Chains A and B, each alone.
Chain A
Amino acid sequence: MEIWSRERVLALAPDRASLLGATALAGRRTWLDMGTDSQALWGSCAGRGRLYQTVIAFTSPPAYACNCPSRKIPCKHALALLLQWSDGLVPVGEPPPFATTWLARQTARMSEPAKAQRQPGELADPAAALKRAAARAERVAAGLDELDQWLCDQVRSGIASLDRAGYGHFDAMAARMVDAQAPGIAGMLRSIPVEFASVGWPSRVLEQLGALHLLVQAHRRLDELPADLAATVRARIGYPVSKSDVLASPGVVDHWFAVGMVDTAEYRLDTRRVWLYGADSGRWAVIMSFTPPGGPRDDTVVAGHLLHAQLHFYPGAGQFRGLIGEQTSATADATMPSAESLPQIRARFAQLVAADPWAARMPAVINAAPIPGPGQWRLRATSGECCMIIDLPEEPWPMLARSGGEQIAIFGEWTPRGFRPLSLPGGDATQPFSTEVVARAA
């Protein structure tokens, strides 16, 4: 079992409190019975009058067990144990009884016969599936008609008072869209009130209402649209696409390097986006996972991983979202994507908008110098063009430290509002790749 890097372990932390707790625990060496073999890692940590026994099974994805009261997965004890393993402080050994018992249960659970697998794309009852699809399409169409009426009502009576109507006004319509089985539309509606907080909201809100209107119009003409665009429209509305169907589509085999990762909280779900770059194909992809708040994040792939795998993309124009199919061991080193100028990135985003008019973000590596400013940081290219740095929880001082005021390569998400830095692909010899664009270590 290859020892994980410290960065990979820290990326597993469900929140900052766990991260800080784990680093403090890992430093104290109050651990007993620590050990590892090729399958698992275990240890006991003395704390608050009792012994917390932690076991981590290196399954895919890893499984964690700890008798502490935390509901977080992995808990700080598991993270601390992994940190010590990462630092080479855990000896190889035989698992103690508490680990053996849990590992045996885990093995038994894993080896339970799986339900009868269907072939990708195969339906249990095609006639019933068709009926369900038709019923759903009807519900969506009815819901979108209602939405269009609502949109027109807003514009007829004027949007000037929408900021006072607040979230409830949009949540009510979003709930109606959820009922109409159009969760994508519901998400777009819920994102609108965020705009009221900043100057110039009428322009942006009107644009967003326009984007929804466009989606309604596109849905009405779904049969007339090119197949790719129709798939995009369906995806934006929230028609489900089964994983088996995606995995049944032709895949792209490549060495995929996870260049960056971002965790966000969207309505009642935590979302993780892991951006991958294919060394041979030059393609970008994003692996998305969703968990309930506080639930275990999917850490199958995190920033800094390199995997040789077949990636299957969701249908639709301008789609980055994919699923990882068959994997083999990597035979090449990680390849960093080359940096682009701001006009190049802008041109690429224009192409994306042409393919998917509702596209909100795009991966990019930018060559620019970070410039601190009161309340607003910017990235500036040598040509003088610049863009805003957005959506960072703290000021990106580590980025300025790396750059020293000069241009550096920065990976992130390009959005119409600005650039969200996620990692620094080109560092120095001691740390060639870093996801620390904001200060959190201390």
Chain B
Amino acid sequence: MSEWEDVVTTGLIGTDRRPVPDALPASWGSGLDHAYDPAHAVLSIAARHRAASRAGDLLLSCPPGPSGPPNRAPLASRAAHEVLARLLSPPQVDLLNLWLVAAAQSGQQASAAYWTPLAMVAARTAELDRSAFGAAIGDRGAWFIEQNPQWARLAKDLRSPPPDEAAPQHRVAAVEVTEDAVRADPELIMYAGTLWSKQLSSAVLEIICSGQLQQRAVRYATAVGVQLPLQHYELVRSALQTPIGLRFVREALLALERTAWLRLEIRSAFTGEPISVERLEIPQW
């Protein structure tokens, strides 16, 4: 039993039942009058031990932890990370996928500061594009994911992405879609690939503005915003300028505009080219 443990035992049992240990280091006990009051002596020793241990206890030591492989690809620009920060709060999976795919296509990677929130989203939903995520965080990021047992499944997916969880845009085969077909079944536009004609884009906007989608309008408009050809962004202006009475239609148009604008921002952030169109003003409905 060390001297301090001896003192603690006295403190636990009480000085009425156990004497203050005699064999104390000189640095603790000098000036203590045990005979005067043992309780005072124990408290004084405790105060001195506290100061001594705070100032002089040996530091712990431990073996090194694992370290990750280096990442060699360049980091995406600051502007791209600002967009990413916005997409993460709150997380918007469709748009995050766009960012990740853009990063993967441009050979750039996400800063380590964003790996944790991205991993948290990816662990929660299979909708986040695993292969683009893996490319955007690199080998070091994949190593990082492996360190957290709660992300074990995600780590496994990153090592070998399941075929059915590939990028959403790979899941659908582009088919030829006509305006009439879209008017008959608005969801068909999601299968039209990305080369929409101007007439097709206008038809989709008309569908949204008509209010026929009711409460599905916002979700639909967001999905349209993800695929709308960016050169058709200006078409949203005329849609916004028409008087709109239904609230969900207004919200759908706002969602569409916002998604399309974010795509413009992402493209600009990764290519360095400025956005050539002005952002549409939101009318005061």
Contact = CB atoms under 8 A, between A and B. Distances in A.
A380 interface: yes
Interface residues of A, number: 69
Given A27-B92, A160-B13, A428 B40 contact: no
A155 B67 contact: no
Contacts of B90: 20, 23-24, 27
B239 interface: no
B117 A441 contact: yes
Contacts of A384: 61-64
B16 A157 contact: yes
Size class of B's contact patch?
Answer: 35 or more
B141 to A, nearest CB: 8
Interface stretch (B78-86, B182-190, B199-207, B228-236): B78-86
Nearest to B120: A442
Interface string A401-419: 1101110000000001000
Given A87-B86, A151-B43, A210-B44, A405 B112 contact: no
A386 B49 CA distance: 22
A439 B120 contact: yes
Contacts of A400: 144, 147
Interface stretch (A28-36, A107-115, A138-146, A253-261): A28-36
Interface in B224-253: 251
A254 to B, nearest CB: 28
Contacts of B76: 430
Nearest to A214: B47
B59 A346 contact: yes
Q: Which 6 A-B pairs have the closest CB atoms?
A: A210-B46, A405-B67, A158-B14, A371-B65, A350-B55, A210-B47
Interface of B: 4-5, 7-8, 11-17, 37-40, 42-51, 53-56, 59-68, 70, 75-78, 81, 85-86, 88-92, 111-113, 115-117, 119-121, 124, 140-141, 143-144, 147-148, 251, 254, 258, 282, 284-285
Interface of A: 6, 20, 23-24, 26-27, 29-30, 32-33, 87, 151-153, 155-160, 202-203, 206-211, 213-214, 217, 342-343, 346, 349-350, 353-354, 357, 369-372, 378, 380, 384-388, 397-398, 400-402, 404-406, 416, 427-431, 434, 436, 439, 441-442
